[in-house]
Amino acid sequence: MKTRPLLFSLYGIMLAVFCLGCSGDEITVSDEQEILFEVNYVNYAWGFQNNGFLIDKKGLVRTFDKPKDWKFADSGPLSAAEMDERLSKTTLVNYTVPAGELAQSIDKLKRVSDARFSEPSSRGADMGASAYYIYRYDPGQKIYTAVLLQSVGDNDVFNLDPDAKALSEWLVKVAQEIR
């Protein structure tokens, strides 16, 4: 009985099904993607405030403080040219995210879902808000799409994905490092 060809055929089919199932919706970080993370504080009470930082794919941290004509992450997708314009309004600081830490954060970034968020919770007034984002980049369309990790301040909103929570906590630590 010639079962060997049948077993190889079954093995090949199972391998193909397994590979198709694994390739699903995994997010990748394109080599073209420059910016990975953003923290942005905005307050309109007692005078306009807008400051924060961006982290690029090399772990370099770039700060901004009231940049003119700033395109906000939550205003919709940003073209690569718009992101480059934003970068031109930043200042490179003397802090680089360690390579291992950056790699772990990129792994989490790839898994973050934007499917479930907490209900907004009012916490105060005139506090402003600090928003924490990751960026997804579409190399075909050359656009960046921000995914909210959390927004804390006047109203709190949290992405309920565990990786979003971990990245938010990490970005808070990065903010403390660059102060």
Domain that includes residue 127, residue range: 35-178
Residue 134 maps to a domain: yes
Residue 16 maps to a domain: no
- Give the pLDDT of the chain (179 residues) as one tens digit per residue: 443 333 333 333 333 333 333 333 456 777 889 999 999 999 998 889 999 999 999 999 999 999 999 999 999 999 999 999 999 999 999 999 999 999 999 999 999 999 999 999 998 888 899 999 999 999 999 999 999 999 999 999 999 999 999 999 999 999 999 98
* Domains identified in the chain, total number: 1
Give the CA distances from residue 81 to residues 88, 89, 148, in Å, rounded to whole numbers and listed in that order. Answer: 11, 13, 21
**Whole-model pTM?**
0.83
Containing H/E element for 129?
A: strand 129-138
